[in-house]
Structure 1
Amino acid sequence: VNGKRPILVGETKENSALMIDATSLDGKLNIITGKKGTGKSHLSKLLITSLLQYGATVVVLDLNGEYAGLGITSDGKRNAYYDKVHVLTPGENFKVALSQLHLNELMSILIHALHLPGTSAREFRRIWQTLKQRGCLTLHDLGEAIRNWHCNQNVKDALFSRYYAMLNSGFFTDNMAEASRLEEALLKSRRDGGAVIINLKNTSTIDRQIVVEYLLGKLVEMLTSWRLKAVFLFAEEAHLYLRETYWDDIVTRMRHFGIFTTFITNQPDSIRESIYRQADNIFLFNFTNESDLEVVSRAARVDSETVKSIARELPPRHCLVLGKAVEDFPIVVKVRTLDVKTMGET
């Protein structure tokens, strides 16, 4: 595919180079799927490093700690992307101070990630506003305020259980010196191009949901205030941390704001059919499981039997590219090798 911003994906069976244009990913929804160990993360890394060359801002939800080595060659040396890769690990170098949060950001974490019921959420708003007026928005003050608040015991219990979930996550802090590096990393990426890797490797399910809720809220806020222009979001196994209502949000509202998503999964049925139908590009690696093949082939905009027969036979590191990136002409490509350090495992 000819274009001004070529990405060399690999070579076709005829040994000719397959180029796609970076603009065919810009503003688009992409899905990379295939069974475990076939080369999905490898292709993601290739696309990410290629986007970095063109100055893009990339955010990676890294479930297995696989992307931390993007700035390092396979033999441990710094590569061209070293200064552009920012790895943030929740509870370590990625924390948030309560005083930095808008109330609506925290409410969205409490309601969507921690499932705080409506009545308790109303009381929490009152507590927050009281603390804000006093100028003491700290974890300690929040705990004391809940303890001394006059309300129904069930409501108090619900508030306390969420408060302890916040404390135990290690994601919230009262120490401004260790508070969020996220904004800083995103603004640097906007200037020079960069990848912000959110390392979720040793993070529990609830904590992942807290972090992702905060991250997506922050991205939307920075995009709507024009502090960011656009973000390429790479989300590995998103069904493990993305709340139900976010799926449609990501492909409609968030795309409108400038979040362009690539979903990467070895469980194709974890992505709803409506999302596949809206996908601009699908990169399909080997599948042998019939039900997996069925899901993907139904979603592809070409003859489903053809897709199935090709996907069954694909060797590792080979994928079938479907969609706008190849002008809707399905092509099998052997993905080129990439000299970056392999970390983590899917």
Structure 2
Amino acid sequence: MEPVGYVIGNNGVDELIMIANPRYADVIKLFDYVYYEHGDSRILAQVTGINRELYRVSDSLAPVVFNDGVKPVETVLVKLLIIGKKTGDLLKLPEAPPPVSTPVYQADPELVKSYLGLRGRLCIGYLASMQDVKVCLNEKAISRHMAIIGATGNGKTWLSVLVIEELLKLGATVLILDPHGEYVKAKETVSKMDGVGLTVFRLSRQHAGDLTYRVGLIAADPDHIASVSGIDDKAIRIREAFSLAHRCVKLAAKAYGDSKLATLRNMERILAQVASGRRIQVGMLQNLFGTKYPTGNLNDNKYFRRLTVVLSELNDLASESAGRHAALAAKRYVRKLRRLGVYSPLSTRLLKLLKARHASVINLAGLDDSVQDHVAYSILSRVLKARINYVRRLPGPKYPYPVVIVVEEAHRFAPGNGRRTLTYGILSRIAMEGRKFGVFLVLITQRPSKIDQDILSQVQNYALLRVVNPKDREALLEAGELMNSNLDKILASLNIGEALIMGPIVGGQVPIVVKLRNRVLEYGGGDINLDKYWGVKDEDYENEVSRMMGLKIPKLTIERAKLLLDKISDESLSDSVIRGYVNGARVEVDLKNEVWSCSKCRNSMKPCEHVVALLLKKAMREAELMHK
């Protein structure tokens, strides 16, 4: 076998410089595997850089070379990252660099396979430099948590979908926190995977989803939901009124054995009573809440005794002007929470979310950051508690199988700027203790410099796509034990759809560059196709939409509708009726009778931008089909 090059120097024990054999100068590619022989061992290395340089010529020959048409002589210098020699099942770096002029050979697939291992069951692609070497990650190493990191548009979600697909094939329970609704489309293609289920949970009826998830008021901390409502931490009296109203409905629900009493509407009724200055007696609650209670003796009921104490404190508020004003303000915040539609007396049953061989997508799109934070905190806390109860055989809700939690936009839930979200605490605990209880994290972010470094440091498996921002690369160097300056150089060389993977998930010794395979499950997100919209002329579609509705559509409405084209989901056409969600609004248009409805704008005299957007998309699709 002819050498592809020769060693001409080294930059330390783990990096070599090779001059390429001229016959192979155009064959050697980035991330190729090569080897050289040292005694009876073969030392595997990987190409991490290729430079072409002019061969040095003397000053007397320079005019001849550059002015008389003589072709300059170039050299191709190749940087090699030494992977090591195989000793049993381990790879070890050589004790010393090879002598200058040591021949270097192209490594064949079998040699690479034997050195790298890759005998796991999470098959996400193949080696970037060898398409016939399949990359299958060690599924057991997911217990050490995983971070998927890369600049926007380089394949983070693509890779996470591949990991989810492979986990589902193995029967895993997967939970996905989805701030932008990117995984909702996976529902459309999950049928292509035999025996696998996927459910989308929405928080609002206006958003896409199969089922609605609710956060329970009875189990919620009143301080947490007060923060979600927007009450300032320094507004002590307003928070006091809010908390007392919460405790009142919670204790009433427990005292009378009726969880339906613990509602935001009943909190509002209590606060309205206090704000009016009227005292509240236990006997008034039945009329106030509009329900009938059991008539038995409640004097021995511990919740009833606590309820009377809380009512006394509420009456104290009602007796003073500042207390009444605080109750009135707290009532406004409760009404704001009611409009969200996120809270109910009891949380959605955990076993609706957690199932083997199943993924649950929590569609948080359209919610404020504080609401997303509280929902994520609620779900993660319940999952961890259920696993702790099962492992330690404690009373309470249990779940018998390990759970993999995928957190998109992880820097939103665990920011590294000193700000502490509710989710930060539970994520930190899962990162440190989750392995013991079978709760594992897959954190996804494009900004590792903005995620909490203590949490990131607990992650041992990294899948790094192209990272451009210097601060983000510096954060990776600080957080990842396996990261070094050599690997940092590789990150800048990755193409879209390539990932540098390191940690126990690839054996723990050798980082590898993977070309991702095609997906089965679809996902949303990605860049908007601007050509599709910037090329649209109002007159091209205005007449068509006006024809559909039998009236003239204003240009301003058309312009607003164009901005909503990428926010349309769940479209359907039945007979002459078009239905769909447009930016969270439920829209229905009856083309035959030329009537419409929009859950946000109601039945206005003229079609709103939500209605027009749905019609505009239909018109554009029909024009595209005609063009084809």
TM-score scaled by length of structure 2: 0.49
Residue in structure 2 matching 1:231, options 396, 403, 417: 403
Tell me which residue corresponds to 1:7. Answer: 122
Amino acid at match of 2:139: A
Tell me which residue corresponds to 1:342. Answer: 523
Q: Is the 8 A contact 1:72 1:82 kept in 2?
A: no
Confirm or deny that 1:316 pairs with 2:486: no
Q: Could you tell me how far apart the structure 2 residues matched to 1:69 and 1:288 are?
A: 29
SS of 2:212's equivalent in the other structure is coil
Q: Is the 8 A contact 1:33 1:283 kept in 2?
A: yes
Residue in structure 2 matching 1:248, options 417, 420, 428: 428
Name which one, 1 or 2, has greater alpha-carbon Rg: 2
SS of 2:492's equivalent in the other structure is helix
Q: Compute the displacement of 1:71 (Å).
A: 4.2
Structure 1 stretch 193-202 or stretch 145-154: which is displaced more? 145-154
Residue in structure 1 matching 2:162, options 43, 46, 51: 46
Confirm or deny that 1:67 pairs with 2:247: no
Q: Could you tell me how far apart the structure 2 residues matched to 1:303 and 1:195 are?
A: 31
Q: Does the C-alpha gap of structure 1 residues 141 and 112 become closer, same or farther in structure 2, counting only changes over 3 Å?
A: closer
SS of 2:123's equivalent in the other structure is strand
Tell me which residue corresponds to 1:202. Answer: 366
Q: Could you tell me how far apart the structure 2 residues matched to 1:322 and 1:184 are?
A: 34
Structure number with higher relative contact order (C-alpha < 8 Å, ≥ 6 residues apart): 1
Q: Which one has the bigger helix percentage?
A: 1
Superposed CA RMSD in Å reads 2.8
Q: Could you tell me how far apart the structure 1 residues matched to 2:223 and 2:441 are?
A: 21
Q: Which one has the bigger strand percentage?
A: 2
Tell me which residue corresponds to 1:296. Answer: 476
SS of 2:191's equivalent in the other structure is coil
Q: Could you tell me how far apart the structure 2 residues matched to 1:97 and 1:233 are?
A: 18
Q: Compute the displacement of 1:303 (Å).
A: 5.1
Q: Compute the displacement of 1:252 (Å).
A: 2.1
Residue in structure 1 matching 2:252, options 131, 136, 148: 131
Tell me which residue corresponds to 2:540. Answer: none
Q: Compute the displacement of 1:316 (Å).
A: 0.5
Tell me which residue corresponds to 2:544. Answer: none
Q: Compute the displacement of 1:79 (Å).
A: 1.0
Structure 1 stretch 117-126 or stretch 306-315: which is displaced more? 117-126
Unmatched 5+ stretches in structure 1:
none
Q: Could you tell me how far apart the structure 1 residues matched to 2:227 and 2:194 are?
A: 35
Q: Compute the displacement of 1:137 (Å).
A: 2.1
Q: Does the C-alpha gap of structure 1 residues 272 and 137 become closer, same or farther in structure 2, counting only changes over 3 Å?
A: closer
Q: Is the 8 A contact 1:70 1:340 kept in 2?
A: yes
Q: Could you tell me how far apart the structure 2 residues matched to 1:158 and 1:245 are?
A: 30
Q: Is the 8 A contact 2:271 2:328 kept in 1?
A: no
Q: Is the 8 A contact 1:30 1:280 kept in 2?
A: yes
Q: Does the C-alpha gap of structure 1 residues 107 and 126 become closer, same or farther in structure 2, counting only changes over 3 Å?
A: closer
Q: Could you tell me how far apart the structure 2 residues matched to 1:44 and 1:97 are?
A: 27
Q: Does the C-alpha gap of structure 1 residues 224 and 317 become closer, same or farther in structure 2, counting only changes over 3 Å?
A: same
Amino acid at match of 2:248: I
Q: Could you tell me how far apart the structure 2 residues matched to 1:125 and 1:87 are?
A: 30
Q: Deviations over 1:62-96 (max 9, x none)?
A: 122221232444xxx83116850000111223243
Q: Compute the displacement of 1:267 (Å).
A: 0.8
Q: Is the 8 A contact 2:456 2:479 kept in 1?
A: yes
Confirm or deny that 1:89 pairs with 2:260: no
Alignment of 1:65-214 (within 5 A): 65-73=181-189, 78-80=191-193, 84-92=197-205, 93-96=211-214, 98=216, 101-103=217-219, 105-107=220-222, 109-110=224-225, 113-114=228-229, 120=240, 123-124=244-245, 126-132=247-253, 133-134=255-256, 135=258, 136-149=261-274, 150=314, 151=317, 152-153=323-324, 155-156=326-327, 159-173=330-344, 180=348, 183-187=350-354, 189-190=355-356, 193-214=357-378
Q: Could you tell me how far apart the structure 1 residues matched to 2:381 and 2:327 are?
A: 27
Q: How many residues align?
A: 331
SS of 1:78's equivalent in the other structure is helix
Q: Could you tell me how far apart the structure 1 residues matched to 2:387 and 2:506 are?
A: 29
Q: Deviations over 1:2-27 (max 9, x none)?
A: 55x511121112331111121111x2
Amino acid at match of 1:90: L
Tell me which residue corresponds to 1:278. Answer: 458
SS of 1:225's equivalent in the other structure is helix
Tell me which residue corresponds to 2:286. Answer: none
Q: Could you tell me how far apart the structure 1 residues matched to 2:360 and 2:477 are?
A: 33
Q: Does the C-alpha gap of structure 1 residues 326 and 139 become closer, same or farther in structure 2, counting only changes over 3 Å?
A: same
Q: Could you tell me how far apart the structure 2 residues matched to 1:186 and 1:33 are?
A: 26
TM-score scaled by length of structure 1: 0.85
